[in-house]
Amino acid sequence: MATKTRGARPTRTDDQLGPKSANYHTHALTRGLVLLDLLASVPPPVTLTGMHEHTGLPKSTLVRLLAALTEMRFVVRVDERPAYRLGHKVMALADAYVSSLDLSAAAGSYLDELARETQQTSNLGLLDGREVVHVCVRQPDRPLRFETSPGARDSTHSTGLGKMLLAGVAPEALAAYLPAEPFPARTDRTITSLDEMTKEVRRTQRRGYAIDDNESSAGLKCLAVPVTVADQTLAALSVSGPAGEFTPKKQKEYLERLTTAAAALAADHDVVAVLSRMHESMGEP
């Protein structure tokens, strides 16, 4: 009569480990990628026993896979338990991945749709010291529109993008991202003092969006929302156009479109990868 083994842990099936394949080498590759994914998703280092518990793979199999990954510098052995972490070759792959991406191609479709739906100019901006950099711009197909271009820079204190990005700055650091007082007045509605800007930033944080109401240019209005990933504001997204078209009803519609587009950008891995790299490269004030 067969005896029942007590305490046996079920081994993960191939369906759980990755795509089905009858090819041995494909199975080995899949399992190696599973290990890399595990090392990327848990705090390092990870012991051999820990990998066995997470994957259900035999330790003998893990040792062979880790030996190959270590030889290729994708994994580094850090102590004698043994325990492992990701190696520098993974970073090289990540760099190559990000370098292959084009922000205009990755984010452009979202801004195209936003410009088409709102019939206003859509802008994606990053904070670079005391300036906002327009990193992606799309224009509506109409003669009367707000004109700007990728790479254009603008002030933080008078623009919707700038105010939205300032809302993600620590209060004690706010002044460093603003010009010396009095701030340059672009129109008679431009905020020119730190005290008033601090109040405006707080209002922006409370309502979740920023407004440029004829502050950067007379006759121009702008609404901006954050592009937030893991509680960090990577960028701001806005629509800009003739102030007379921003009626209360239209503003509500624009904000709904902006919120949807910002969420889509934040959920796109390619967009986030490029924005994260650009965010890290931007200068301090």
Please tell me the predicted confidence (pLDDT) of residue 178.
96
* Shared domain check, 259 and 157: yes
* Shared domain check, 123 and 181: yes
C-alpha distances in angstroms, 120 versus 52, 86, 117, 157, 172?
Answer: 55, 45, 8, 22, 35
* Shared domain check, 192 and 64: no
| CATH for 276 | 3.30.450.40
* Shared domain check, 69 and 53: yes
Per-residue tens of pLDDT for the chain, all 285 residues: 444 444 444 444 444 455 554 466 788 888 999 999 899 888 999 999 999 999 999 999 999 999 999 999 999 999 999 999 998 888 778 777 766 668 888 999 999 999 999 999 999 999 999 999 999 999 999 888 888 888 889 999 999 999 999 999 999 999 999 999 999 999 999 999 999 999 999 999 999 999 999 999 999 999 999 999 999 999 999 999 999 999 999 999 999 999 999 999 999 999 999 999 888 878 677
Peptide bond into 140 cis (omega under 30): no
> What's the chain look like in SS3?
CCCCCCCCCCCCCHHHHCCCCCCHHHHHHHHHHHHHHHHHHCCCCEEHHHHHHHHCCCHHHHHHHHHHHHHCCCEEEEECCCEEEECHHHHHHHHHHHHCCCHHHHHHHHHHHHHHHHCCEEEEEEEECCEEEEEEEECCCCCCCCCCCCCCEEECCCCHHHHHHHCCCCHHHHHHHCCCCCCCCCCCCCCCCHHHHHHHHHHHHHHCCEEEECCCCCCEEEEEEEEEECCEEEEEEEEEEEHHHCCHHHHHHHHHHHHHHHHHHHHCHHHHHHHHHHHHHCCCC
Predicted TM-score of the model (pTM): 0.74
Question: Hey, which residues does 121 pair with through a beta bridge?
Answer: 240
Number of folded domains that form the chain:
2
* Shared domain check, 85 and 223: no
The residue among 95, 117, 141 that closes a domain is 95
Please tell me the predicted confidence (pLDDT) of residue 263.
98
The residue among 76, 95, 114 that closes a domain is 95
* Shared domain check, 273 and 166: yes
* Shared domain check, 109 and 74: no
- Contact indicator for 128, 111 with CB cutoff of 8 Å: no
For 131, list phi and psi in degrees, rounded to 5: -130, 160
Domain that holds residue 202: 101-281
* Shared domain check, 187 and 127: yes
Residue 1 lies in a domain: no
Max alpha carbon distance in the chain (Å)?
A: 93
Please tell me the predicted confidence (pLDDT) of residue 98.
62
